Amino acid sequence: MARSFVETAQRASNRGRTGVGPAFAAIAALFAAFATTTGVSAEPRIYLGDDHNGLVEADPGLLLIRARSRAEMRVIVELRTDFVPEGKLSLFGAANQRTAIDGLQQRVLGRLAGARNVKRFQSVPLMAMTVNAGRLQTLIDNRDVAAIFEDVPVPPALDASVPLIRADVAAGIRRVNGGKGWSVVVLDTGVQRKHRAFRRKIVSEACFSTTNADSKSLCPGGAQSSTAKGAGDTCRRSIDGCGHGTHVAGIAVGNPKGADAIYAGVAPKASLIPIQVFSRFSGAACAGSSPCVLSYISDQLAALEHVNTLASRRKIAAVNMSLGGGLRRKACSKHPLTPIIRTLRSKRIAVVIAAGNAAADGRVGAPGCIPAAITVASTTKTDDVSSFSNFSRLVDVAAPGSDIWSTVPGNRFAVLSGTSMATPHVAGAWALLRHRFPKASVRKVRRALRCSRTQVTRNGVAVPRIDVYTAFLALKNRRCTL
């Protein structure tokens, strides 16, 4: 059956076009119903980048107009298939799902000669690629394609906290032991591997970074990806934003000795897995100084799938993502990172994401709007919501993010503020709690961290500021004991 007639029938029955006679409208309605039940699909959902580095649903025509204004366009393609997070499947079921995804990817690529920078993902039904307008039209016309997302690059979420959340009390409990044996993954700008706060902490590292018309890879040797030693190292300090990941990692797991013993991260005995996911941009792409760093969603997706692979041989408590863009009032369950975040959650790994720094009430940034993620707002040390923090009912918990002392490149320490600083407090807390409660699900740890006497409020919305010791007691006693 011709696709054009399917679309005509669906539009006639759904929209009641002027000039369509009653008989044809009735036939069209029946044909549209038949097409739906027999698997003939409509055009894919389309999501374009907005002015705030977010994604908004749009008409396919707008996507093509944008593509024609450029030589090429970077997109993420969602394939039309049933999907179940791998943690909910048997090994046999997960293998079968991966085989089905691989087959769909091959079928779509077989009709799409000439796509560049193709990234195929094994555990989720997604691909990323660089295409021109003609190949984009081919994707729009392909029945195996469920959605097309512009691959938007997003910035880092940057604009005497450990005792405040009683992480030091929880870490001192004998059976918690500072999170020893568990790892926190930091998806960011890399970390200074030789910083004394990370001595013997890094157990694995990787880099996923894209060279495109507007960007250059920051992986070793300019590769698109790497898991070699040094892949997770910080990018050059001459690039704006490159100290970000080192500061974030120090909050989560830093453990310096000697003169800096007054400083320690939330989980000082936990291990660190730095994954560099940013690319180098310059000129108009940079909101401040140029050159700067931005992270493609597809590189975040590749990094999270790498975490899924690592999970079979390492005890990973949480993934920290102090990055993002856009503002969302409602949950964004269709975001391209949703399937892999759900997959990690099904394996008891929390993906902890910054709410963003636009000082927005009733909204958070993407990907923090994903329901399966743990979204974190920032507070001051006097338990007020930080002035810069986004804040809404989509926020799961809050943590200190104003004026946080932590590691920076050059083997130094500095004070920074942002929801970027709040998020690793929660990721580190996850490592402490999973050490003592290794079988606790993301849902149970989230519920325990929300079991806090301290609530922060803004414009009628209240969110718990985490108290790790109270969360420990809640998990131990299997109930809140306020």
**371-414 pLDDT per residue, tens:** 999 999 999 999 999 999 999 999 999 999 999 999 999 999 98
Which residues have CB under 8 Å from 73's CB, separation 6+? 66, 67, 130, 131, 132, 133, 136, 150
Structure confidence at residue 150 as a pLDDT band (50, 70, 90)? very high
Lowest-confidence segment of 172-181, 235-244, 286-295 by average pLDDT: 172-181
**295-313 pLDDT per residue, tens:** 999 999 999 999 999 999 9
| Residue type at position 455 | Q
Dig out the tokens for 54 from the structure.
Answer: 């977010």
Q: Provide the pLDDT for residue 368.
A: 96
Angle at 51 between CA 50 and CA 53, to 5 degrees: 70
Q: Provide the pLDDT for residue 478.
A: 85
- Is the separation of the CB atoms in 378 and 336 below 8 Å? no
Q: Provide the pLDDT for residue 171.
A: 61
Dig out the tokens for 409 from the structure.
Answer: 């490149």
| 260 has a pLDDT exceeding 80 | no
Which residues have CB under 8 Å from 448's CB, separation 6+? 433, 440, 470, 471, 472, 474, 475
Which residues have CB under 8 Å from 321's CB, separation 6+? 187, 188, 300, 351, 352, 353, 354, 367, 373, 423
Using CA atoms, how far apart are residues 262 and 30, in angstroms rounded to an integer? 73
Q: Provide the pLDDT for residue 221.
A: 94
Using CA atoms, how far apart are residues 325 and 270, in angstroms rounded to an integer? 29
Residue holding tokens 């029945």?
A: 143
Lowest-confidence segment of 227-236, 254-263, 353-362 by average pLDDT: 254-263
Dig out the tokens for 450 from the structure.
Answer: 């929300």
**410-457 pLDDT per residue, tens:** 999 989 999 999 999 999 999 999 999 999 999 999 999 999 999 999
Sheet of 279-281: strands edge to edge?
153-154, 292-296, 279-281, 216-217
What CA–CA distances, in Å, run from 334 to 62, 356, 366, 478? 19, 19, 11, 33
- Is the separation of the CB atoms in 375 and 394 below 8 Å? yes
Enumerate the domain spans of the chain. Answer: 3-37, 45-151, 161-477
- Is the separation of the CB atoms in 178 and 267 below 8 Å? yes
Using CA atoms, how far apart are residues 28 and 10, in angstroms rounded to an integer? 7
Q: Provide the pLDDT for residue 364.
A: 97
Chain mean position to CA 144? 25
Nearest partner of 292 among 411, 149, 413, 158, judged by Cα: 158
| Diameter of the chain measured on Cα atoms | 85
| 10 has a pLDDT exceeding 70 | no
Structure confidence at residue 258 as a pLDDT band (50, 70, 90)? low
Q: Provide the pLDDT for residue 247.
A: 96
Average pLDDT, the chain: 88
Backbone angles phi and psi of 430, in degrees to 5: -60, -40
The answer to whether domain 45-151 and domain 161-477 are alike in fold is no
Structure confidence at residue 357 as a pLDDT band (50, 70, 90)? very high
Angle at 76 between CA 71 and CA 78, to 5 degrees: 140
Q: In the CATH scheme, what is the homologous superfamily, with its name and number, of domain 45-151?
A: Peptidase S8 propeptide/proteinase inhibitor I9 (3.30.70.80)
More confident: 15 or 368: 368
Structure confidence at residue 167 as a pLDDT band (50, 70, 90)? low
Nearest partner of 80 among 128, 143, 38, judged by Cα: 143
What is the CB neighbour count within 10 angstroms for residue 103? 13
Lowest-confidence segment of 96-105, 342-351, 470-479 by average pLDDT: 470-479
Query: What mean pLDDT is predicted for residues 67-73?
Result: 90
* pTM across the whole model: 0.87
**100-135 pLDDT per residue, tens:** 999 999 999 999 988 999 999 999 999 999 999 999
Backbone angles phi and psi of 4, in degrees to 5: -60, -35
Peptide bond preceding 291 in cis form (omega within 30 of 0): yes
Q: Provide the pLDDT for residue 213.
A: 87
Q: Provide the pLDDT for residue 237.
A: 85
Using CA atoms, how far apart are residues 68 and 424, in angstroms rounded to an integer? 41
Structure confidence at residue 256 as a pLDDT band (50, 70, 90)? confident
Backbone angles phi and psi of 63, in degrees to 5: -65, -45
Q: Provide the pLDDT for residue 20.
A: 38
Backbone angles phi and psi of 126, in degrees to 5: -140, 155
> From 3.40.1360.10, 3.40.190.10, 3.40.50.200, 3.20.20.70, which CATH number describes the 161-477 domain?
3.40.50.200
Query: What mean pLDDT is predicted for residues 146-164?
Result: 78
Query: What mean pLDDT is predicted for residues 6-13?
Result: 38
Q: Provide the pLDDT for residue 23.
A: 41
Using CA atoms, how far apart are residues 448 and 334, in angstroms rounded to an integer? 27
